[in-house]
Structure 1
Amino acid sequence: MSINHILGIPEEVKHHLENINAMFEQGKYNAEYLHEQVLILEWQLELLAISHLARDLQLLPSNKRSMKREQLIRRLLLMRRQIEDVIQNNKWTAVTLASDICRLLAKLAIELRESPSAFTK
């Protein structure tokens, strides 16, 4: 999956999303079990949806961006929580990689919350 083809995502956000996607690709490549690959594919689809939401934020009038930005942040944090739950239940063996992905998801959510200007035209 590639996020590069999605136009209109702010560069700071796109950079984080590309890094997270690259980690998912690494996890898919190194997965020991089929169910791990399936989980990663599901998360990549969610990351793609998040990328489209980030792009769509750019197109909204400024008075509607705040609500959609919060929705984006919630989706990032929900994905982080889902990955943490999978690790706790021993459903993914790449604990270090998963921790790195969770760290990046949290970092992006914090940056978006602290810097709403990332989505100004």
Structure 2
Amino acid sequence: MSTSLLYLLKRTELAVRARLDELLKPAGITALQYTALTVLERHDGISAAQLARDSFVTAQSMADMVRALESRGLVRREPHPGNRRERLIRLADPGRRLLAEYAGPARALEERMVADMSAEQVGAFREALVGAWRALS
């Protein structure tokens, strides 16, 4: 009997998260905080709810995370021009610098993960992961 794909995927996720946490320790941020910063790098000026969805955490966890990132000056909150009750979260310059500093090491971690794969296999792996995500979304 072969190992469940769900189990293999979760095991891989936990290994990636552990390596990312280890990599980011000198910066004083977690893998989940790093994920949120990378989301803001791609989609700056979004709501906390959208940031939570795109970062794979609950709204409550995101509220705590945004407070922590804001206290470190990595993000800032500003009023939403179309909704006075909502605040948009933006990546601050120190957050951009942190992402730039860790872009190479994060890329190296990804390359380590697929080091035993050919370029074609990496492409197929990427497509398979996107396809699996789409099937469940």
TM tier, smaller: 0.3 to 0.5
TM-score by length of 1: 0.33
Q: Which has the higher strand share?
A: 2
Structure with higher RCO (Cα < 8 A, 6+ apart): 1
Q: Which has the higher helix share?
A: 1
